[in-house]
Amino acid sequence: MALEANKKDEALSLLEKVTGKLNLIMARDPDLALAPVDINEVVIDVYTDVDSIKAMVKEAKKHWIKAVCRKHEI
């Protein structure tokens, strides 16, 4: 990337191009003004077996039921 290579002028030029393209896209469809501009994704690899997952689901359901009961004071 231009910034990593310490090419500031090139990075600014690329930023200007991208910003201009974004402005053109938004001018075509003003509803895109409400579109998210940043999305993060986290991927976690889980190494386990089916029985462990079933036990975790059972435990999560138990805690969820307790939370719902407290919320509704059952």
Condensed to tens digits (0 to 9), the pLDDT of residues 20-46 reads 877 777 778 878 777 777 777 788 877
Rg (CA), the chain: 24
- Domain span at residue 13 reads 8-35+44-72
Name residues whose C-beta falls within 8 Å of residue 10's C-beta, 6 or more positions apart in sequence: 2
pLDDT band (50, 70, 90) for residue 9 = confident
Place of tokens 């509803």: 31
Res. 54: pLDDT tops 80: yes
Token pair, residue 42, equals: 């986290």
> Is residue 22 within 8 Å of residue 32, measured between CB atoms?
no
- Asked, for residue 24, whether it belongs to a domain, the answer is yes
How many independent structural domains does the chain possess?
1
Highest mean pLDDT among 25-29, 37-41, 53-57, 68-72: 53-57
Decide if 1 is inside a domain.
no
- Specify the 3-state DSSP secondary structure of 59: helix
